[in-house]
Structure 1
């Protein structure tokens, strides 16, 4: 039996294609997409034969890979503008108080809205930290956590289902929570969540499962050993929030040793943020094959600091880029994230050449895919990969002559120029409006449910909705 090539479903013509594949440069030409949603061909000039399937005439616009957010909390879409002057722990505390009153149905709609928001802004794949079943609040001053309740497993599953229903390619990150319930029960719940992903998310949308690394908030080194056990049992990676803020820095740095001694540092292990490691930690992590994920907008919003990206690049660490959550980026704008990343690195290093536009764009696309271990499927426009791409028009509104394609794309483009978003060759957003049949429902449900959840949480919160 021989494989049958998929029929061409879509042909893009007259596009300035930015493939972001290593060894390739931008070109003006065409791209074809098969009925399986994967790229079947691309090249300069006109297609070698008559364009087949639907034809998308880009009219000279940029066509580039969809952005990948390698670090996201998609349930936070209704929490923008909260705690506008708090650093990490104060901000997390208010967020935790609010979300403690949410139900499984609430978190479904919050997550669905967040996913559609990502897609509308050109983010076609995301690593998503699902909100934990454990309802609690962390106190950095005492390194303790107050636990209010443990929610049913449906609370976790509904977030996985929401990302699936939105059509966002997602790596679902699950917290083990072995410190707050019987240990074997925690592993069983984790296993059922991984199984839920495998059985309920279509293969094309499923980028895998991951451990939600939580040692930063843990009380003992056993938490690191438990996470490694989950990694080994399921053959998956781990992304740990770590050294994000300068608050309680000595206590955070002490916990690095827990991960090191547990054997967690390896390819597939990522440090989310990693703003404040010392020289030893950076070198050890790189030598072990661990990577990091950088959130430039979030780090600025929360006053967390500026990650030493040039050093991490010199060490050869895999580096991904994320938008974190809507509640600490406020506008989940990957173009803004590119610019904040480049500009802060140049400013802090006093070197305008320390990070170039193509390098930053690579980190937010192919580099993020590599860090997550899914670069065989997403991250660049190459034959065999999913046709997740953006149409970005420098003439609408007019941004002037293009002197350098990568610099123009990273510096001069924005959401105002994003005309279309495609996932697997299917249009999911046009001119900032979602094509999803549940988009209007998601917006309505978000507004209604945020008010209801805020009212239930009011007795423990200092934040109030303005309207």
Structure 2
């Protein structure tokens, strides 16, 4: 790749002393930032020049919590709380195989990139398709796949060109212990074959919230130690069965899992003691305001966590419950919910939520040394946002305009490692193919459970090969 110097840019570095400045940035031939400064680039700045015409240049967004295969289930269970909604999703996946998950994941990765998300913590769909058992508050296996079911999701994300952390569930209660560990090991071996520039590492998909005994936390700790990896657990996301959820927190604490390598996803309904332990152990929290609002899960007390110096990131969660992978909408939703809840317009700032969805997320998932801000040595993962198309008016406060006034309609181009991966108005045959494959395969999978779409794709936009939904 040829080095590129971006200039005439309104830069939001998310690092250093200045929240913004007019300047330039160079991405070297290896895809990393080799220079960044105010003013015009030096005469000997390497590579080709790319005049950004006064556009914003900012780090690509980091989604610290995504289920990236779910784009074929948007609008599902639109009035249901978490457990009803997730059970519906699982039923729709009962007919899916490993290749189906490849295409669903590829489509999801490309969708994230087209929204300006360049790095993602991805909760893979487990090889065990399970339904939530309300009576026992555990996951009940409905269909079990080999490890290839997860490996093909890794392949799909790698093919999309996004950077990613791969989170894998152990399923130790649905499988024999040896089989569960062997399947996890297979995925970690496969992950090691992925381009190291895209592979941001493996992680444990923490599942104590749906377990029946503390041994699950101990097994997750063993995996973290074995591979030197992180862990993120969905926890106290919903008010449903909240006493049961809160009681399981001690299982993680007793197993010694809490710490800088551990994050709680959602963390909407913690007790005071839980918050204190997160603070004291240096654990993180990843916040999904759009998802929490859509599912009626509640509003996490993010200002309290930040005041306690807890690391907080943001994620766009499922494409089936946000229902768009839009970090701009996610930032604004979170900001407005917190202000409205407290009747306080100063409770969070635009700069705060921008930091949460970039360097905050990168820190929470353990990749801040490589992504999340514009600094020399980090990957040149960039978004170009044009506040003049459509026009947002005079820019009185650049950070406020970026967060409050811009959106996907202003997104002009997305770069991963200095290479353009999406641009407004430029067709992408891979994206078109992936979206069509996703549609066909999702319809076919859901049909196994008797679930069919209310509206089929128009005939002139479908493949010549008819979509078989029965």
User: What TM-score results when the alignment is normalised by the length of structure 1?
Assistant: 0.95
- What is the deviation of 1:52? 3.7
Are the equivalent residues in 2 in contact too, given 1:69–1:126 (CA < 8 A)? Answer: yes
- What is the deviation of 1:9? 1.2
Question: Would you say 1:466 and 2:459 are equivalent positions?
Answer: no
Q: What pairs up with 1:25-64 in 2 under 5 angstroms?
A: 25-64=19-58
Question: Would you say 1:185 and 2:174 are equivalent positions?
Answer: no
What does residue 447 of structure 1 align with?
439
Supply the distance in 1 between the matched residues of 2:329 and 2:87 (Cα, whole angstroms): 27
Supply the distance in 1 between the matched residues of 2:109 and 2:63 (Cα, whole angstroms): 11
- What is the deviation of 1:433? 4.9
Are the equivalent residues in 1 in contact too, given 2:147–2:183 (CA < 8 A)? Answer: yes
What does residue 4 of structure 1 align with?
none
- What whole-Å deviation, never above 9, does each CA across 1:370-411 have from its counterpart, x for those lacking one? 111111110001111100011100100011001111111000
Match of 1:235 among 205, 228, 244: 228
- What whole-Å deviation, never above 9, does each CA across 1:288-339 have from its counterpart, x for those lacking one? 1111100011001101000000111122111110000100111111000010
Supply the distance in 1 between the matched residues of 2:23 and 2:111 (Cα, whole angstroms): 30
Match of 1:134 among 114, 128, 131: 128
Q: What pairs up with 1:67-82 in 2 under 5 angstroms?
A: 67-82=61-76
Supply the distance in 1 between the matched residues of 2:383 and 2:339 (Cα, whole angstroms): 27
Supply the distance in 2 between the matched residues of 1:357 and 1:157 (Cα, whole angstroms): 38
Question: Would you say 1:302 and 2:278 are equivalent positions?
Answer: no
Question: Would you say 1:248 and 2:237 are equivalent positions?
Answer: no
Are the equivalent residues in 1 in contact too, given 2:285–2:313 (CA < 8 A)? Answer: yes
Name whichever of 146-155 and 29-38 sits farther off: 146-155
Are the equivalent residues in 2 in contact too, given 1:28–1:45 (CA < 8 A)? Answer: yes
Name the CA shift for 1:141/1:403 in 2 (closer, same or farther; >3 Å): farther
The DSSP-based 3-state class of the residue aligned with 1:364 is: helix
What does residue 66 of structure 1 align with?
60
What does residue 211 of structure 1 align with?
204
Supply the distance in 2 between the matched residues of 1:157 and 1:8 (Cα, whole angstroms): 32
Match of 1:375 among 361, 368, 374: 368
Question: Would you say 1:334 and 2:327 are equivalent positions?
Answer: yes
Supply the distance in 2 between the matched residues of 1:132 and 1:433 (Cα, whole angstroms): 34
The DSSP-based 3-state class of the residue aligned with 2:109 is: helix
Supply the distance in 1 between the matched residues of 2:34 and 2:46 (Cα, whole angstroms): 12
Name whichever of 42-51 and 307-316 sits farther off: 42-51
Match of 1:438 among 406, 419, 430: 430
Q: Unaligned 5+ residue runs, structure 2? A: 457-470
Name whichever of 239-248 and 182-191 sits farther off: 182-191
What does residue 16 of structure 1 align with?
10
The DSSP-based 3-state class of the residue aligned with 1:77 is: helix
Runs of 4+ aligned residues of structure 1 deviating over 4 Å after TM superposition are 432-435
Count of aligned pairs: 456
The DSSP-based 3-state class of the residue aligned with 1:327 is: coil
Name whichever of 116-125 and 425-434 sits farther off: 425-434
Are the equivalent residues in 1 in contact too, given 2:316–2:322 (CA < 8 A)? Answer: yes
- What is the deviation of 1:465? 4.0
What does residue 358 of structure 2 align with?
365
- What whole-Å deviation, never above 9, does each CA across 1:208-234 have from its counterpart, x for those lacking one? 100000111111111111111111111
What does residue 424 of structure 1 align with?
417
Match of 2:78 among 84, 106, 125: 84
Name the CA shift for 1:144/1:12 in 2 (closer, same or farther; >3 Å): closer
Supply the distance in 2 between the matched residues of 1:367 and 1:69 (Cα, whole angstroms): 10
Name whichever of 160-169 and 132-141 sits farther off: 132-141
Question: Would you say 1:158 and 2:152 are equivalent positions?
Answer: yes
Are the equivalent residues in 2 in contact too, given 1:124–1:423 (CA < 8 A)? Answer: yes
Supply the distance in 2 between the matched residues of 1:253 and 1:451 (Cα, whole angstroms): 37
Aligned-pair Cα RMSD in Å: 1.4
Q: Unaligned 5+ residue runs, structure 1? A: 1-6
Supply the distance in 2 between the matched residues of 1:13 and 1:144 (Cα, whole angstroms): 54
User: What TM-score results when the alignment is normalised by the length of structure 2?
Assistant: 0.95
What does residue 467 of structure 2 align with?
none
Are the equivalent residues in 1 in contact too, given 2:164–2:200 (CA < 8 A)? Answer: yes
Supply the distance in 2 between the matched residues of 1:78 and 1:303 (Cα, whole angstroms): 21
Supply the distance in 1 between the matched residues of 2:426 and 2:184 (Cα, whole angstroms): 36
The DSSP-based 3-state class of the residue aligned with 1:161 is: helix
